[in-house]
Amino acid sequence: MKHNIIYRFAFAAILLFAGITSMAQTNNNTTSKKEPVMKTYLIERDIPGASQLTANDLKGISQKSCGVLKEMGPKIKWLHSYVAGNKIYCVYQAQNEGLLREHAQKGGFPITTITEIASTISPATAEQ
């Protein structure tokens, strides 16, 4: 149990770092057009046997997700996902949480939790 808690904390820290790094890169764009703010979210999906999915399984899931995203337009963007144990953790940018739920419904993907990423820390934070 203790190792599971440590594992989950370490994994969450990695996800937060990766998500905010991506968010910082995206939010540094300056344009003359007013674009809606894209928030960064961490989605936890319970998928029994996720870490045993084959490369072809993961490719199929990715293709389905990308197809739905293409239909939905630029208001939602998939950054990356982590497959670990019986879960897949996905990092998305979206204008709102409802778009994440719409994407999941259209693609047939489960959502266990959605968490908006507020900030991140990394070893670089210690030097600031």
Top pLDDT among 45 and 10 is at: 45
Given a cut of 70, whether residue 15 has pLDDT beyond it is no
The string of pLDDT tens digits covering residues 45-75 is: 999 999 999 999 999 999 999 999 999 999 9
- The model's confidence at residue 8, banded by pLDDT at 50, 70 and 90, is low
- The arithmetic mean of pLDDT across residues 86-114, rounded, is 98
The predicted model scores a pTM of: 0.72
- Domains of the chain as residue ranges with CATH: 2-127 (3.30.70.3090)
What SS3 state is found at 118? coil
Phi, psi (degrees; rounded to nearest 5) at 50: -55, -40
Given a cut of 60, whether residue 14 has pLDDT beyond it is no
Residues 72, 53 contacting (CB under 8 angstroms)? no
- The arithmetic mean of pLDDT across residues 79-103, rounded, is 98
Q: DSSP readout, 16-53? A: HHHHHHHHHHHHT---SS--PPPEEEEEEEE-TTGGG-
